[in-house]
Chains A and B, each alone.
Chain A
Amino acid sequence: MTGLLGPMMVIVWKDVLLELRSRDLVVSVVVFGLLVVVVFNFALNNTPGRSEELAPGILWSAFAFAAVLAMNRAFVRDQEQGGLEGLLISPVSRDAIFLGKALTSLIFMLLVEAALLPIYAVMLDFSALSWMLILTIFLGTLGFAVVGTLFSAIAVQTRSREIMLPVLFFPVLLPVIIAAVEASTRAIGGETFVGLGRWLPLIGVFDALFLVICPWVFGFVVEE
């Protein structure tokens, strides 16, 4: 297990450092997240009375679109710089590479979401001070990161990479989005873990399942 963790953390560390130094990706994704909320707010005709009903949906739509955007750009940049190739030549295991990349995406998106959440709480008028909400966001984003990293690795090699990732991502992650919105609705309403019903366990099972499957198929995607 330690053979996995070490290389993984090195990859994560390197990518995170790279990102913090340039910061352009974080900023642009946060701005994008704000734009999505503004558009949805008007598109869905979000009046004060309806805010409670619409907020979780708008929140997760924004997070999902932001995640796709972020992972797309991260992998494109990585490919341009030859980062992935370099890793593949080295003796690091494919699993470590995949998990490292996924963890990087996860951390990145959690940072973006942490920046956006307070703003959303104000704009959409809900209380974000809920551990259950935080947990939901964490588990949902984990699902995005794991499946998204795999699909990004595929999409970045294809001819129309900007469209390929969303086309792959959204159908597969629909259950996570459904569950996250439902769980968030209850969490914001002040429910405890039990009150969230089956939704959080659904995301949990999804995450666990794909945490096993995605690293395995990743090996085939990047083989030469």
Chain B
Amino acid sequence: MANTQSIERLGSIDRLPSLKTALAAITGVMMLVDLYLIFMVAPTDSVLGHVQRVFYFHVPIAIMSFLAFFIVFIGSLMYLIKRTPKWDAIAHASAEVGVVFVTLALITGIIWARPIWNTWWTWEPRLTTTMILWLIYVAYLMVRSYAPSQSKGAIYAAVVGIIGFIDVPIVYYSVVWWRSIHPSPVVGPFAQADALDGTMAWILLYSFITFVFFFAYMVAERMELRKTEEALGRIRFILRRRGR
């Protein structure tokens, strides 16, 4: 009991835990429903069979990873302009969770590609742009941890977040144009994955919303971790000042 009091003396661990618990609960329920929908309700694709169900995870995760990067962009912009730490915290947490999501998007994309297109990888616009997005996220996190100080790291990362976000659409279109000249022999049925029937479409939408909550929960966890990191930093600072 005494310890919690002193942590609060040092800093602020406020409403975050209860928001976190709420998000966790909502996510948990939604995910269970989602899995039920994916495996019990969704129709089996006539051409691709059951493996098509990966789609209900892969697509929302991929879209979420791009959305996360948009949040990183906004957070970075706001941080550079206003310098309030909370914007940096949002950007940082979103970037870290974002990396997890892009990684997963790539992995599920590769697993998805093999049975559908008979190849593990193809340099088509969406996959390539996702790969580049991954690289930019990683560069964002690297710059942050290799910077000479926390505050500098935040600024450098913000710059990368902004430049990177502006660059991603350009990357996408350049690969689209490139591909129109060097067409891939792989033109799978889900290369244009928009030929959806009604049930599939709304299950996909529901799955997406589930992952939005999942993302929000993970960001909340990461932000609370950051608060703890800061509290630890503060107490170390005090102790160092006292020569211990």
**A residues whose Cβ falls under 8 Å from a Cβ of B:** 147, 150, 154, 157-160, 164, 167-168, 170-172, 174-175, 178-179, 182, 198-199, 202, 205-206, 209-210, 213-214, 217, 220-221, 223
Contacts and interface: CB of A to CB of B under 8 A. Distances in A.
A175 B174 contact: yes
Given A159-B147, A171-B135, A171-B164, 17 more contacts: A157-B148, A158-B148, A159-B146, A164-B139, A167-B138, A167-B139, A172-B163, A174-B171, A179-B174, A202-B174, A202-B177, A209-B166, A210-B163, A213-B163, A217-B162, A220-B159, A221-B155
B166 A157 contact: no
Contacts of B158: 220
A154 B156 contact: yes
A223 B149 CA distance: 13
Interface string B135-168: 1101100110011100010011011101110110
B161 to A, nearest CB: 10
Contacts of A160: 146
Contact of A147 (B155, B163, B174, B181): B163
B148 A206 contact: no
Contacts of A175: 167, 170-171, 173-174
26 contacts: A154-B156, A158-B143, A158-B146, A158-B147, A164-B139, A164-B143, A167-B135, A168-B139, A168-B143, A171-B132, A171-B136, A171-B171, A172-B136, A174-B171, A174-B174, A175-B171, A178-B174, A178-B175, A199-B177, A202-B174, A202-B177, A210-B163, A213-B166, A214-B163, A217-B80, A220-B80
A151 to B, nearest CB: 8
Contacts of A213: 162-163, 166
A198 B156 contact: no
Mostly helix, strand, loop or mixed at chain B's interface?
helix
B183 to A, nearest CB: 14
Given A157-B147, A175-B170, A202-B174, A221 B156 contact: yes
Contacts of B159: 150, 154, 217, 220-221
B178 interface: yes
B177 A220 contact: no
Interface string B37-75: 000000000000000000000000000000000000000
A198 B174 CA distance: 10
Contacts of A164: 139, 142-143, 146
Nearest to B162: A217
A-B CB proximity, top 10 nearest: A175-B174, A158-B146, A171-B135, A159-B146, A217-B159, A175-B170, A178-B174, A172-B167, A154-B156, A171-B132
Contacts of A170: 135
A206 B136 CA distance: 17
